[in-house]
A and B are shown apart, each in its own frame.
Chain A
């Protein structure tokens, strides 16, 4: 069964420093996609970054990068140069391909606190 694990319920980082949020996943499908979403206190879910299972290079989007280690089934999010506005919940998610029915499974989330 597909599963997403985020082991860090909360993380602190100093403003302007980098932080890594951990995510491991479990799937038997060969084709899947990995996502990270940000959810501020306002409640909206904001898409950050996507990594496909067949992508050979790690995805990057501005200050966000995804450290994809397929053999270890990990997809950690790296935020560089943290800003106060980065304080939010962060969710890792996985969507399997056709054999998985296309449903998306989310982890329990990591709450990030950025300190001034």
Chain B
């Protein structure tokens, strides 16, 4: 079966521009997570969806970042007025069991965002 997919794999944009990053989770997985990974660091939690709703968005760094999952499947991470500090790999993960602490998260290959 297909794993988590993310598009685009690479995105280069200019400072101040708007970008959208897409995540297709594994079919049937109701939980979806977004992370940001800067060079040499571990993934940093951004937001967690249960179904269509954002159950925890405490990791979003500021109001330039927003994510949606309108039909409980595909999710889009949106970044407005991009800054050079937003440059990172954005990882998406999905899991089957949204209500326990032990659900295994399956990660996508990530989108490398470069803000010039």
Contact = CB atoms under 8 A, between A and B. Distances in A.
B58 interface: yes
Interface stretch (A13-21, A44-52, A75-83): A44-52
A100 B48 CA distance: 12
A102 B56 contact: yes
B57 to A, nearest CB: 10
Interface string A92-106: 010111101111111
Interface in B62-116: 89, 91, 93, 98-107, 109-110
A95 B104 CA distance: 10
A52 B48 contact: no
Contacts of B105: 35, 47, 104
Contacts of A102: 31, 48, 55-56, 98, 101
A91 B41 CA distance: 10
B20 interface: no
Nearest to B43: A106
A101 B56 contact: yes
A104 B32 CA distance: 12
B104 A108 contact: no
B45 A105 contact: yes
Contacts of B98: 102
A43 B58 contact: no
Interface string A37-61: 1000001111100101100000000
Nearest to A100: B101
Contacts of B44: 106
A52 B102 CA distance: 6
B53 interface: no
Given A43-B89, A44-B107, A44-B109, A101 B100 contact: no
Interface of A: 4, 31-33, 35, 37, 43-47, 50, 52-53, 91, 93, 95-98, 100-109
Given A32-B101, A43-B109, A46-B107, 9 more contacts: A43-B110, A45-B93, A45-B107, A47-B104, A96-B101, A101-B58, A102-B48, A102-B55, A105-B45
